[in-house]
Amino acid sequence: MAGRSNGPGGDRGDFGEEWARDLRVQFEQLMRTKRLTEIGQSRANRSRLDSEERASPSPNLRAHSAAPSSSSSRPSSSYSQGHGHTSPALPPSYSSLRNFPKIPTAPASHDKESQKFRNLLVSLSQTPTRYENPGLLDEALHVIPLDRIYSEAEEESQVLEASAASMGDGRKPEWGYQDCVIRALLRWFKRSFFTWVNNPPCPVCLSPTVARGMTQPTPDESACGALRVELYECSNQACGAYERFPRYSDVWRLLQTRRGRCGEWANCFSMLCRAVGSRVRWVWNAEDHVWTEVYSEHKQRWIHVDACEEAWDNPRLYTEGWGKQMSYCIAFSIDGATDVTRRYVRKSEHALERNRCPEEVLLYIMQEIKVLRRGNLSKEERFRLEKEDSREDRELRGYVVASITQAVTRIVPGSSTPSASTRAQPIASSPSNDDQKLPAEQPGRQSGNAEWVAARGENGRRNQQFQDPRNPPRR
């Protein structure tokens, strides 16, 4: 690493962009050299075994050396090649398999868990298709104060353009005009339009209510997508009235009620984003949360948006802010489905075990949904989406590389811990410079009362473990 200007011994005394680039190059060179050494050793071992076989007339030796070829369908390893005469049936080592790509594989007929997970994901993939209803989009446009939204967006866009121009280096504004439209829509939706529900008030005396479990939906509630209904009793014994809280999934109905928890918030907000012309994704998390992603043409990538928290482009909010551990984060759009877990889970300590199905099966399910959604598109449109998929895959893999780089940085011999101001500066190789907040800057969960948040384990550094048996965690 000699000659780097921003290394630990450089003028700045911290880890800069050139140091990170040098580290990456050296790491790649090290892995390349190691791989070439393994290949050379493997070839040498094969040549030695072949020469021994030719030199020895013993039938026992020939039979012994031919034994591994009976399982030639299995991958070979440098260990088995060098020690074939002692344990020819050993499984291939990890080093011989780690570079093999995972091949999408359909779930086996006897694998009930994988079949169940596939059916769940295919069912969830229907959610964003409802946002394409012209009548629903027209109704949404009547609800949104378009003059206010576009006025705020225009003002913010002009400020960003002026700020970029003042730098004098020809840089682009931080966000484009359509991004500013969604940001204005997010503020209005959170502050003026939708209401969070913990326990709904009594419909008679407006006193607080107590949860009494679940009840069956009425035909009208079922018609609006309420598969379950929460039942609450007034805490005022003189009243004793009951309040029903249907968990609607029909977006048209949510435009009327304008209340709910994260499921209703994400569903309604995603549709409103679609109504103002943005491409949207509805993101499902296996640990009971949902949110939105909006595609930024300006940034050429998908942007994390959580209406409940009024969060914009902060994908590490859940793990480093809420202290949430996650296993699966799947983004569904009108164009297919994508596993975006790597965008939201950057460190191993925040990752839960992914045991719903094998990874090869998950790849197959993602491709299956994409084929289903893109079947009627033109060849040019499919090609455009495939290029977009490749670009996003590079971005997601970049998050893994950035995480490894940070881990390596901590163990570099003779290195000192960078200052807080240095850590706040993103490395150039990082795929996204817009979500690089320090853990201390990540807010805890804002939506929901303290007991509800604590029961879900999403109170971050507050971490007050509280569980009220009368109010189990609900999405």
- Given a cut of 50, whether residue 3 has pLDDT beyond it is no
Q: Which stretches does DSSP call E strand in 349-437?
A: none
- Given a cut of 80, whether residue 161 has pLDDT beyond it is yes
Position 51 scores a pLDDT of: 73
Strand partners, 283: 291, 331
Structure tokens that stand for 95 in this block: 């080093």
Across 117-141, average pLDDT:
96
259 vs 186: CA distance, rounded Å:
15
Q: Is 262 a catalytic residue?
A: yes
Position 286 scores a pLDDT of: 96
Confidence class of residue 2 from pLDDT cuts 50, 70 and 90? very low
Name which of 293, 276, 275 is nearest 284 in CA terms: 293
Position 17 scores a pLDDT of: 75
**DSSP label of 241:** -
**DSSP label of 351:** B
- Given a cut of 70, whether residue 130 has pLDDT beyond it is yes
Position 413 scores a pLDDT of: 65
Kindly report which listed range (149-158, 351-360, 400-409, 431-440) carries the lowest average pLDDT score.
431-440
Put simply, whether the predicted model's pTM sits higher than 0.75 gets the answer: no
- Given a cut of 80, whether residue 205 has pLDDT beyond it is yes
Identify the residue whose tokens are 């949510």.
Answer: 254
Position 48 scores a pLDDT of: 78
pLDDT, one tens digit per residue, over 264-283 is 999 999 999 999 999 999 99
Position 71 scores a pLDDT of: 41
Position 409 scores a pLDDT of: 79
Percent residues over pLDDT 70 in the chain:
73
| H helix or E strand, kind and range, residue 269 | helix 262-275
C-alpha 440 chain-centroid distance: 21
Concatenating the DSSP letter of every residue in 417-439 gives PPPHHHHTSPPTTSS-SSS---G
pLDDT, one tens digit per residue, over 400-442 is 888 888 878 777 765 544 443 344 333 333 444 445 554 445 6
Q: Is 288 a catalytic residue?
A: no
Are 418 and 404 in contact by the 8 Å Cβ rule? The answer is: no
Q: Is 289 a catalytic residue?
A: yes
pLDDT, one tens digit per residue, over 366-392 is 999 999 999 999 999 999 999 999 999
Confidence class of residue 451 from pLDDT cuts 50, 70 and 90? low
Position 403 scores a pLDDT of: 84
Q: Where are the alpha helices (DSSP H) in 107-257?
A: 112-124, 134-143, 146-166, 177-188, 219-223, 251-257
Are 76 and 66 in contact by the 8 Å Cβ rule? The answer is: no
Kindly report which listed range (109-113, 186-190, 462-466) carries the lowest average pLDDT score.
462-466
**DSSP label of 69:** G
Mean pLDDT for all residues in the chain: 81
pLDDT, one tens digit per residue, over 64-107 is 444 444 444 444 444 344 444 444 455 555 554 455 678 899 99
250, 306, 313, 434: which is the annotated catalytic residue? 306
Position 69 scores a pLDDT of: 41
180, 234, 262, 268: which is the annotated catalytic residue? 262
250, 268, 289, 434: which is the annotated catalytic residue? 289
Confidence class of residue 212 from pLDDT cuts 50, 70 and 90? very high
pLDDT, one tens digit per residue, over 13-67 is 456 677 777 887 888 888 888 888 888 888 888 777 777 666 655 444 344 444 4
pLDDT, one tens digit per residue, over 216-270 is 999 999 999 999 999 999 999 899 899 999 999 999 999 999 999 999 999 999 9
DSSP β-ladder status, 280-285 and 209-215:
unpaired
Task: Please state, in angstroms and as integers, the Cα–Cα distance from residue 387 to each residue in 77, 184, 341, 381, 434, following that order.
Answer: 35, 30, 20, 10, 22
Amino acid (one-letter) located at 51: S
